[in-house]
Every structure is written in C-alpha cells, then in structure tokens.
C-alpha cells in the first residue's frame, strides 16, 4: 500500500505538467476523439453513399434492360398489328368478292325463276 502511495506521489511530483498543460492535454485528447468520431461518421457516410450508388446503378441497368425489352415488344406488336390489318383488308376484299358473287347468283336465280315461271305459264296455258 505504501509503495503505491509513494509511487503516486513521485509520479505527480516529478511530472513537469502544469494544470493548464494538463487541461490542454485533455482538451487535445477530446479533440482527437471528436475528430476520430467525425472521421468514422464520414467513412460510414461514404460507405452508405457507395451502397446507394451501387443500388441506383443496378436499378438503372435494370430499367435500361426493361426499356429495351419494352421497345422490342412494341416493335413486335406493331408488326403484328400491321399483319392483322393486312389480313383484315384481305378478308374484307374476300367478303366484297363473295358479296358480288352472291348478288350475281341472286340475279341469275331471279332470271331463272322468271324463265321457269314463263315456261310453266306456257305449259299450263296449252
């Protein structure tokens, strides 16, 4: 016990640090700790920003790929629409052709009915 007290007395008696210097030393240590904390926060912020940048870059790439796929799909759809419009046009032409044939056949049927009626009238009148 006495040895520890004696050692403590010797330490404080032989230290050439004044109370002002001691306060300055503690202030310097506090400043160093504050700067270390600040540096740690800056590094943490840098890491967070790097992570966000990676995330945004991935999103950007994903969005670019999605836009490319959508452009391809739109192009394919436009081609399909053009084909469908051509098919509709062809079918409308076929419908018009069949309508003309139907009208022509209806005319022939009417002529044939008249001829048959005239023939029947002629036969029954005899």
Taking the chain, what is the end-to-end CA distance rounded to the nearest angstrom?
162
Q: What is the pTM of this model?
A: 0.49
| pLDDT given at position 78 | 98
State the chain's mean pLDDT as an integer.
Answer: 87
| pLDDT given at position 3 | 72
Give per-residue pLDDT as tens, 32-87: 888 999 999 999 999 999 999 999 999 999 999 999 999 999 999 999 999 999 99
Q: If you ran DSSP here, which 8-state letter would residue 15 be given?
A: -
| pLDDT given at position 13 | 58
Percent of the chain surpassing pLDDT 90:
70
Residue 35 or 26, more confident: 35
Task: Give the contacts of 25 (CB within 8 A, at least 6 positions apart).
Answer: 17
Q: What is the mean pLDDT of residues 109-118?
A: 96
For residue 71, CA distances in Å to 63, 64, 65, 77 come to 12, 11, 10, 10
Q: Where are the domains of the chain?
A: 23-100
Confidence of residue 23 (pLDDT cuts 50, 70, 90): low
């Amino acid at each position: 016990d006495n040895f520890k007290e004696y050692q403590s007395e010797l330490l404080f008696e032989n230290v050439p640090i004044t109370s002002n210097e001691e306060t300055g030393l503690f202030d310097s240590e506090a400043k160093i700790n504050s700067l270390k904390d600040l540096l740690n926060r800056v590094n943490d912020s840098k890491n967070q920003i790097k992570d966000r940048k990676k995330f945004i870059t991935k999103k950007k790439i994903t969005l670019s790929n999605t836009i490319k796929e959508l452009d391809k799909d739109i192009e394919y759809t436009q081609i399909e629409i053009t084909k469908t419009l051509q098919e509709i046009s062809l079918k409308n032409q076929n419908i018009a052709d069949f309508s003309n044939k139907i009208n022509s056949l209806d005319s022939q049927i009417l002529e044939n009915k008249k001829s048959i009626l005239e023939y029947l009238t002629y036969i029954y009148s005899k």
